[in-house]
Amino acid sequence: MRAKVLKVVLVNLALLLGLVVVAELIFGDWLRSDPIARLDLPRGTAVTVNPEGLYPGAQPFLYRRDRWALRGAGVDPAKVTILTIGGSTTNQLFLPDEQTWQAVAEREFRAQGRDDVVVANAGIDGQSTVGHIKSLEDWFPAIPNLRPRFVLAYVGLNDVHVSGAWIDDLRHPDPIKRFRQRSAIIRAWGKVAGILKARQAKLTHHRVDYAGVEWTDTPAEPDFSAGPNSTPEAYKARLKRMAQLIHEMGAVPVLVTQPRGDYRVVDGKVLGVASTEGRNGVDNYRLLARFNQATREVCRDEGLLCLDLARELTFETGDFYDLLHTSPSGSEKIGRWLHAKLAGLV
């Protein structure tokens, strides 16, 4: 009896293993040498996105990634002046191409007669500095003739939630890295885990009615030990690695600090959106402030260019459609501000 049961188990395991192998050969990247394909980035795609309800005047539009996985209809990599990297606040999935802060900054340059300045969008939803390092190592070197003068990193927000396997992935030896990059199943699991983690951290897109929220100046979780286990020191090490890789591209690193929509500073006092569970806006401000400070410290210690957007740019009601993502008016402010900061350097 036991022998029969064992035989059934072994047969089922063999069938399952066979299905896994077939799936990996079909959907994985074991037989392809394209490094961009192994990163599983959207390429040559065009999908209709409907942002209706997120902000006033929102209409469906065509969201596109070109053959090199950069956002937009297509840009000659050789003409890219400023390459922007970041997560969803850089990608701006629910804003049309022409309303992203990259497009705004580019228009500002053109208004000054600088038609030669091209600002490319390499933002990927959910990506932290862990992912940016991978992009700098594997994605951008695979794009022919991509030699930007500046690589602008809009970072910090997602790194507050970086921990566990996301950090450990940087420590894997090359054979394990290659296996994880090529495996379709592991990539699929990574996407699911990322979605679940983003939802838990409230990083996904949803409309917030700021006119109806309650504001507080009291943190809900004053003990930082109850927060994410990512540390600013580990984040600083990743920023330094990014800067090194950007320099190796022949470009100038530009690090930009990040704001959130669920806090405001009034007469020196931080007010945050109240929450009935978990962290509120004051907690989120305090956590993010540690990472923004880490960004400033890396710039100071390494002699890098830092644009302190989080401190210097003031946002108003309507500039964020949720807790994190800017509406067209918010992205307009960011684009104009970045242009003003970079105009004398580009």
What pLDDT is stored for residue 199 in this prediction? 44
Statement: residue 241 has pLDDT above 80: yes
Name the pTM for this structure. 0.81
Mean pLDDT of 319-336: 98
Helices (H), 28-97: 35-38, 88-91
Overall average pLDDT of the 255-272 stretch: 96
Q: How many helices (H) and strands (E) does the chain have?
A: 12, 10
State the DSSP H helix or E strand holding residue 127, giving kind and residue range, or none if neither: none
Q: Which residues of 160-190 are buried (b: 16+ CB within 10 A; e: fewer)?
A: bbbeeebbebeeeeeeebeeebbbbeebeeb
**Average pLDDT over the chain, rounded to an integer:** 85
**Picking from 4-8, 260-264, 294-298, which range would have the lowest pLDDT averaged per residue?**
4-8
**Between these two residues, 197 and 110, which has the higher pLDDT value?**
110
Give the tokens for residue 35.
């490094």
Q: Could you tell me the fold of the domain covering 32-342?
A: Rossmann fold (3.40.50)
Closest CA to 142 of 11, 33, 59, 223: 33
Q: What is the average per-residue pLDDT within 93-110? A: 98
**Percent of the chain residues past pLDDT 70, beyond the cut:** 77
pLDDT value of residue 278 = 86
Extents of the domains making up the chain: 32-342
Label residue 20 by pLDDT band (50, 70, 90): low
pLDDT of 155 over the 80 cut: yes
